[in-house]
């Protein structure tokens, strides 16, 4: 019994817990305990920042503001109005969340450095408000006399009582974060961070995920700010200044931006590191900076990332789960439309002076394999992007099983039963082939915060994903990261990921690219079997020997216009197609 319990313990985690217990005992002085309490407070701050920076991949520079806002609410309500700890703690959690919800609408629409600059602007505005609104905030002098934490009539003194309450909250909030991130939801954030377009094509609401992580990070920052002001017993604009944001960002990068243990490690190290270098007197800040620089160079994914990478290299490959046989994609849908699955009516799209699509119209019937051909730049991929909501067409209509999808977000179109692959592979290289497919199974269940997050849901998704990888002939690489796989194998995995959505319409962009002749023949047979089950396919392909025996009908585009439509043999013989795309020699070869 004891052996079984010990075998489930992560040695690195066990060692870290022992260190956290022993550390404050070894430095049992008022100053040492105060530093340890501050490390716990910053650990909570960093845990929250990991939601938006680590998991959502957005460089927010206003989380020092959320931290300071939580501190100010506790300081003002406690010192000026006499509110007790439960009330001020709740207010300090709510206020940053409300501010985050207000600013989210404009700033979350921005990307990369524009988002960072916008959030930096918010931080500077809030700092000026704190300095100038002297009647409420005390201005540059701040507010002294913030009361200590009082719980159940007991006043928590500095030292061990404060350390215990702070680190108890670190444990509780860490478990809460793990519950949110530990399953499919965390994997969904990983996909969104690495490739937002792929995430949308899986039915993931990227805007909603970014909004949720932004609010969660503000919540944690506010709670950390409340504990901070109770620890130092004074509130001033220093809590809102940029150095708090820089400290949080540095701790996140050094510890590991997506690992909860990394938040604790980064906070503990960076709070104590300056103290360890005090013996250098005037040069201790130089030493501090050099150590941080060396750490970032040696461990760009954080110290915990360095440990995890070493563990993965040394540990044997985990066995794949037993596959779970899913119903064929079209058969899983409650009803399969009898009319056209896809109807295009005069679809147009312009990019500046380039008319990428010009009044394109055709229908795709259930169970059909429609081949979409044409020279490079003819508008094939642009058309697929319009169908799937990545682009909004400038004119015309697009209907999916009778539903007008014009202007509909990409994730909502995916949920109508539309799946796709990409001309340029959009897999997440760091994730295993199994998890790349499993997250699509979670998305098929309309993944949202608070649902499908647990280990049971993840285990089911992985079992279903294993069945799909077997169906496309990629089961042997299920547990390997996609980044190291052959190009043709990645193509199969991307098809399996698309099938995980159980679509009624599947759009494939050059699926035979990178496959040898035997692999192409195998893929063609699998695609025919899917069409036989009722799945409708639209296949963009330049490989005519692969496409002609596969397709039931062809549409050819040239300069954004449809120039031919019909049976594969008739389209291959069409004079306009021969002139614009095939050429006389290839046309003669493919129809022979």
Query: What residue spans define the domains of the chain?
Result: 30-313, 337-417+503-590
pLDDT digits (tens, 9 = 90+) for 273-285: 888 887 777 777 7
| pLDDT recorded at residue 348 | 94
pLDDT of residue 591: 62
Q: Where are the beta strands (DSSP E) in 66-164?
A: 143-144, 150-151, 154-155
Mean pLDDT for 1-30 is: 62
| pLDDT score at 329 | 54
In tens, the pLDDT along 192-237 reads 999 899 999 998 999 999 999 999 999 999 999 999 999 999 999 9
Model confidence at 17: pLDDT above 80: no
Give pLDDT, residue 5. 39
Give the CB-side neighbour count of residue 380, counting CA atoms within 13 A.
26
Q: What is the pLDDT of residue 590?
A: 64
Pick the more confident residue, 317 or 302: 302
Reported as type and span, the H/E element at residue 398 is strand 395-400
Of 400, 558, 508, which Cα lies nearest the Cα of 571? 558
Quick: pLDDT tens for 565-575: 999 989 988 89
**Neighbouring C-beta atoms of residue 309, cutoff 10 Å:** 12
Residue 6 has pLDDT above 50, yes or no: no
- Burial of 234 per CB tally in 10 Å (0-12, 13-18, 19+): middle
Within 8 A by CB and 6+ apart from 82, the residues are none
How large is the average pLDDT for residues 544-567?
Answer: 93
Q: CA end-to-end span of the chain, whole Å? A: 72
The pLDDT tens digits for 428-464 are 998 999 999 999 888 776 655 545 555 677 888 889 8
What are the residue ranges of helices labelled H in 432-472? Answer: 433-444, 455-471
- Could you give the CA distance from residue 275 to residue 255 in angstroms, rounded to a whole number? 18
Does the pLDDT value for residue 169 go beyond 90? yes
pLDDT of residue 2: 40
Burial 486-524 (b: 16+ CB within 10 A, else e): eebbbbbbbbbbbbbbbbbbbbbbbbbbbbeeebbeebb
Helices H / strands E in the chain, number of each: 26, 14
Percent of the chain with pLDDT over 90: 50
76-102 pLDDT, tens digit each: 999 999 899 999 999 999 999 999 999
Collapsed DSSP state (helix, strand, coil) of residue 241: coil
pLDDT grade, residue 15 (50/70/90)?
low
For the 30-313 domain, the top CATH level (class) is mainly alpha
Measured in whole angstroms, the distance separating CA 569 from the mean position of its chain's CA atoms is 44
Query: What number of other Cβ atoms are within 10 A of residue 363's Cβ?
Result: 16
Burial of 196 (0-12, 13-18, 19+ CB in 10 A): buried
Asked whether the beta carbons of 185 and 458 are under 8 A apart, the reply is no
Q: Which string of b and e fits 421-448 if b means at least 16 CB within 10 Å?
A: bbeebbbbeebbbbbbbbbbbbbbeebe
- Assess contact for 188 and 55: CB atoms under 8 A: no
- Percent of the chain surpassing pLDDT 70: 91
Residues 129-142: pLDDT tens digits?
Answer: 999 999 899 899 88
SS3 (DSSP) at 373: strand
Which pLDDT does position 86 carry in this prediction?
93
- Its CATH class, for the domain covering 337-417+503-590, is alpha beta
Q: Which residue has the higher pLDDT, 483 or 215?
A: 215
Q: Are 455 and 425 in contact (CB under 8 A)?
A: no
Spatial separation of the C-alpha atoms in residues 321 and 462, rounded to whole Å: 7
Average pLDDT over residues 464-484: 90
Mean pLDDT, rounded, of the chain: 87
Helix (H, G, I), strand (E, B) or coil at 54: helix
Q: What is the DSSP letter of 239?
A: G
Q: CB count, 10 Å around CB of 349?
A: 22
Answer yes or no: is pLDDT of 393 > 90: yes
Task: Give the pLDDT of residue 304.
Answer: 84
Angle between helices 160-181 and 206-232 (to 10 degrees): 180
Residue 508: CA count within 13 A, CB half-sphere: 30
What's the CA gap between 22 and 378, in Å, rounded? 67
- Please give the pLDDT value at position 344: 94
User: In CATH terms, are 30-313 and 337-417+503-590 the same topology?
Assistant: no
């Amino acid at each position: 019994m004891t052996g079984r319990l010990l075998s489930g313990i992560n040695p690195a985690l066990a060692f870290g817990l022992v260190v956290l217990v022993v550390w404050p005992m070894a430095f049992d002085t008022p100053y040492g305990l105060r530093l340890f309490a501050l490390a716990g407070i910053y650990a909570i701050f960093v845990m929250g920042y990991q939601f938006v920076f680590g998991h959502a991949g957005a460089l927010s520079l206003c989380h020092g503001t959320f931290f300071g806002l939580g501190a100010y609410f506790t300081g003002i309500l406690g010192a000026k109005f006499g509110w007790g700890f439960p009330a001020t703690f709740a207010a300090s959690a709510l206020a940053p969340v409300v501010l985050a919800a207000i600013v989210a609408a404009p700033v979350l629409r921005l990307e990369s450095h524009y988002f960072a600059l916008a959030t930096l602007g918010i931080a500077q505005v809030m700092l000026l408000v704190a300095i100038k609104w002297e009647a409420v905030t005390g201005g540059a002098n701040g507010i002294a006399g913030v009361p200590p934490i009082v719980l159940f009539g007991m006043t928590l003194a500095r030292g061990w009582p404060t350390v215990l309450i702070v680190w108890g909250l670190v444990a509780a909030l860490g478990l809460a974060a793990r519950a949110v991130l530990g399953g499919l939801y965390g994997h969904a954030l990983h996909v969104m961070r690495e490739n937002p377009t792929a995430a949308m094509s899986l039915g993931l609401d990227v805007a909603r995920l970014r909004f949720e992580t932004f609010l969660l990070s503000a919540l944690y920052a506010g709670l950390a700010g409340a504990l901070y002001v109770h620890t130092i017993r004074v509130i001033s604009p220093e809590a809102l200044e940029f150095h708090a944001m820089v400290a949080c960002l540095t701790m996140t990068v050094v510890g590991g931006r997506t690992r909860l243990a990394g938040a604790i490690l980064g906070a503990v190290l960076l709070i104590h590191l300056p103290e360890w270098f005090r013996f250098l007197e005037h040069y201790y800040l130089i030493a501090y900076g050099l150590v941080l620089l060396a750490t970032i160079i040696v461990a760009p994914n954080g110290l915990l990332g360095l440990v995890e990478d070493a563990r993965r290299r040394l540990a044997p490959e985990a066995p794949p789960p037993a596959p779970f046989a899913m119903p064929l994609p079209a058969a899983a849908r409650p009803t399969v439309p009898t009319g056209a699955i896809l109807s295009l009516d005069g679809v147009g799209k312009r990019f500046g002076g380039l008319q990428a699509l010009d009044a394109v119209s055709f229908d795709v019937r259930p169970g059909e394999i429609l081949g979409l051909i044409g020279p490079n730049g003819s508008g094939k991929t642009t058309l697929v992007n319009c169908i799937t909501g990545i682009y909004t067409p400038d004119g015309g209509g697009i209907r999916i099983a009778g539903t007008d999808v014009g202007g509909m977000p990409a994730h909502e179109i995916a949920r109508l039963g539309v799946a796709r692959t990409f001309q340029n592979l959009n897999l997440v290289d760091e994730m295993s082939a199994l998890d790349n497919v499993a997250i699509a199974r979670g998305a098929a269940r309309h993944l949202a915060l608070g649902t499908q997050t647990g280990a049971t849901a993840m285990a089911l998704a992985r079992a279903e994903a294993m069945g799909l990888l077997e169906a496309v002939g990629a089961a042997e690489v299920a547990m390997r990261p996609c980044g190291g796989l052959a190009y043709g194998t990645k193509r199969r995995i991307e098809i399996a990921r698309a099938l995980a959505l159980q679509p009624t319409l599947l759009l494939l962009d050059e699926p035979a690219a990178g496959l040898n002749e035997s692999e192409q023949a195998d893929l063609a047979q699998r695609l025919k079997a899917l069409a036989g089950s009722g799945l409708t396919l639209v296949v963009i392909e330049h490989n005519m020997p692969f496409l002609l025996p596969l397709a039931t009908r062809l549409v050819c585009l040239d300069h954004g216009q449809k120039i031919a439509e019909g049976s594969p043999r008739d389209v291959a013989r069409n004079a306009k197609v021969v002139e614009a795309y095939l050429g006389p020699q290839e046309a003669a070869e493919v129809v022979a």
